[in-house]
Structure 1
């Protein structure tokens, strides 16, 4: 998933979003106490605009490995159902907890999520959450925390009857309004977003067929998997650690969403071609291109050097080679000479046979994987992202050979970033032709929009463009 690219936003890792202008960063102080650390993380998401992708790695060094799944479940879960939890707190707390007491508010979110959604025994969830007030240096609120959570347990049915009287979207209003305008089935999209995501893997056909790997999963790891319309994809019955996937370290399989896997297939790379994977981190699409065309000359470009570490790690695991370049896709002239020098041995003009542009976007198609997107993304971010996409698309089009292919992709659900973006580009670019995609759609459709479904893939958009001679 790519969500943004250099200015006007700061870059994170694969689950990153454009972050709000942050206050001074708050270090995670509560060593070892999972609930206290989770409350601190949620506070930084809600009040400082940081993403879980940035914060959770910091947590890993402060808790026991066996507590990591619990901490992740709490943090992701609170962000997934935040409005419902907030409503319960409003019914239970007379005076809003603001300023320095916001951390106690976030601790209450942590406690309520456990009591409502997790299998943690009630007494353990309550006691450990109350004890976390000490780690958060909020001892004065121990009684309040204890009282609120115990009252919820006593009055649970009455409180939930009030809270759940009307169907809740658990999404910001501005985003719901955009979905209503774009999709008649907007409620289904909302429901899918509120589910936990399925785990999809891509089978490397150089090692094993999809059918044989499915049998291998069952025989070696007792993992049930299901196939899809994508010939390389398998959905696991239950998410699991990659360590449980047979020959994962040898590159036999890669974790990648079902709809994201179409990128390399639609790009249709050929051996010997010079191919650019723009906005390449963390490298899932780069490695997929090389699985499809092992003798292609692939350039993996990203604006953040720190993000390219993941690209190199994925290439190494799959024993593949690509030219990894740190550069800004809006300014090809700053890095194209280096590409030419390393590819053809001298700094000269060079053009690509194919370009995969997984453009920076709102990431509104992957909300179920990254529910903090709902609270980090702002409505006024969209226009800035659309302008950035337009800038990158125009800049990279100039680097494409005549008769070359550019595949435009986003993990967004918003027409402004997808079909409307491509319609504008086609209207302004005489030598751009829209190519058909192998999906059932209306003849007038511009590109193809995948929508998130409970057992299917994430929201993803594709448009395939050919550069006329």
Structure 2
């Protein structure tokens, strides 16, 4: 990218925030595309400074009164842009003499160009002339961008005039062709020489909305019938998993507030099933937030569950999820790589959903690819190894530990599993191993890794 690596920023948390009123004044209506472009541009600028997109959007939303409709539009544009950053960055570099400043101006060009680029399978969300007009309005209404409204107009109009020539030129660059950093493309090629293109393509599509049925309250068949009665089309893709043909706002998902269902990717739903749970077992869910797998464990068996989470800010999310489901677990703040929280009681089952680069879930979190560095996987693998070694001594002889990552990099997944097995003479049981992200119809899921181990009997 032409802008600096966000990880190199020395003032990520302390940089001055630009409020929505400064970016989009009363000269533009809050329900206009100009307002949405301004908000999305600000969110994108935060990401390029090193802030994750959900947190970036939250900052935008809390700085001004934004309607639910405007929030939805801002979020949609920001996520679209994160999936196209490689391409639009190359276009901006080609059409400008230097990276546009301030960052929000660069973000505005990224967002507007994203809306002007269409794929074979996707219609343009807005007419071209509307995007150009509203992008110029967004720049004109901002004290930070008003000086550049002419440049915004010129760049966007040039792209429309010359896109048949410009796009083929930038598509010769791997980062623009695939919308990933060059190192990511190279690493994927090395790890999966036969399927790297499908992996990159699948992870760059819109993710499906998959639900997990709480079978302790309702059967999958009964819930499907309930959806059918309400005119919501869905397909069963797992024992408790159904994919909605069209996403629905979570507040409109039948039975969600009553705990009949949860939103969870199909691959992530395998974790609780692989643990071979039985009533009365002592179970540890290490690194438990936000609590999706925690809830699934409790839906499948009446176990004594301890949910551990190092981040105190994320503990509330576990409480919220379990409260909605009507389930209970002991929830504790603690670092899974240390033992100062452990009372010495060994567990029958341990779910170790260890820290990783999240390279397998970029379809849902497209900003990850721009926030990660090439060295992150190796560093996180060291942390995860320390966690696994610590948890192993907390497992009863004959007990089972499930290693889970949402990564596609072997250093975090298969290599980690092999090294762990050798260090502890662990018995490796049958588990899926590396699941690669796929967008195949009725088989859509993220890229997760599973390795199941049993501790030898004494």
Deviation at 1:207, TM superposition (A): 2.0
The structure 2 residue matched to 1:467, chosen from 450, 455, 458, is: 455
Q: Which residue of 2 aligns with 1:308?
A: 315
Query: 8 Å contact 2:337–2:391 — kept in the other structure?
Result: yes
The 5-angstrom pairing of residues 390-469 of structure 1 reads: 390-430=385-425, 432-437=426-431, 448-455=433-440, 456-469=444-457
1:179 aligns with 2:180: no
Deviation at 1:264, TM superposition (A): 0.2
The 5-angstrom pairing of residues 216-227 of structure 1 reads: 216-220=226-230, 222-227=231-236
Deviation at 1:21, TM superposition (A): 5.6
For residues 80 and 211 of structure 1, the distance between their equivalents in structure 2, rounded to whole angstroms, comes to 36
Q: Which residue of 1 aligns with 2:26?
A: none
1:152 aligns with 2:159: yes
1:169 aligns with 2:178: yes
Across the two proteins, how many residue pairs are aligned to each other? 425
Q: Which residue of 1 aligns with 2:136?
A: 130
5+ residue gaps, structure 1: 1-16, 338-348, 440-447
1:135 partner SS:
coil
Deviation at 1:127, TM superposition (A): 2.1
For residues 349 and 9 of structure 2, the distance between their equivalents in structure 1, rounded to whole angstroms, comes to 35
For residues 281 and 237 of structure 1, the distance between their equivalents in structure 2, rounded to whole angstroms, comes to 28
Q: Deviations over 1:21-46 (max 9, x none)?
A: 64323324123532222112211211
The 5-angstrom pairing of residues 50-69 of structure 1 reads: 50-61=51-62, 62=64, 63-69=66-72
For residues 22 and 262 of structure 1, the distance between their equivalents in structure 2, rounded to whole angstroms, comes to 40
2:293 partner SS:
helix
1:192 aligns with 2:198: no
Deviation at 1:163, TM superposition (A): 3.1
Q: Which residue of 2 aligns with 1:215?
A: 225
The 5-angstrom pairing of residues 35-434 of structure 1 reads: 35-46=37-48, 48-61=49-62, 62=64, 63-93=66-96, 95-98=97-100, 100-117=101-118, 118-133=124-139, 134-164=141-171, 168-183=177-192, 184-220=194-230, 222-228=231-237, 230-293=238-301, 295-332=302-339, 334-337=340-343, 349-430=344-425, 432-434=426-428
Structure 1 residues 85 and 162, CA gap change in structure 2 (3 angstroms): same
TM-score scaled by length of structure 1: 0.87
For residues 363 and 217 of structure 1, the distance between their equivalents in structure 2, rounded to whole angstroms, comes to 32
Q: Higher relative contact order at CA 8 Å, sep ≥6: structure 1 or structure 2? A: 1
Q: Deviations over 1:299-338 (max 9, x none)?
A: 1111011111110000000010101101111112x1113x
Structure 1 residues 358 and 18, CA gap change in structure 2 (3 angstroms): farther
5+ residue gaps, structure 2: 1-5, 22-29, 119-123
For residues 18 and 422 of structure 1, the distance between their equivalents in structure 2, rounded to whole angstroms, comes to 29
For residues 277 and 25 of structure 1, the distance between their equivalents in structure 2, rounded to whole angstroms, comes to 36
For residues 389 and 240 of structure 1, the distance between their equivalents in structure 2, rounded to whole angstroms, comes to 35
TM-score scaled by length of structure 2: 0.89
Query: 8 Å contact 1:28–1:37 — kept in the other structure?
Result: no
For residues 127 and 84 of structure 2, the distance between their equivalents in structure 1, rounded to whole angstroms, comes to 20
For residues 364 and 326 of structure 1, the distance between their equivalents in structure 2, rounded to whole angstroms, comes to 26
1:250 partner SS:
coil
1:41 partner SS:
helix
Structure 1 residues 388 and 165, CA gap change in structure 2 (3 angstroms): closer
Q: Deviations over 1:127-149 (max 9, x none)?
A: 22112223252211011111111
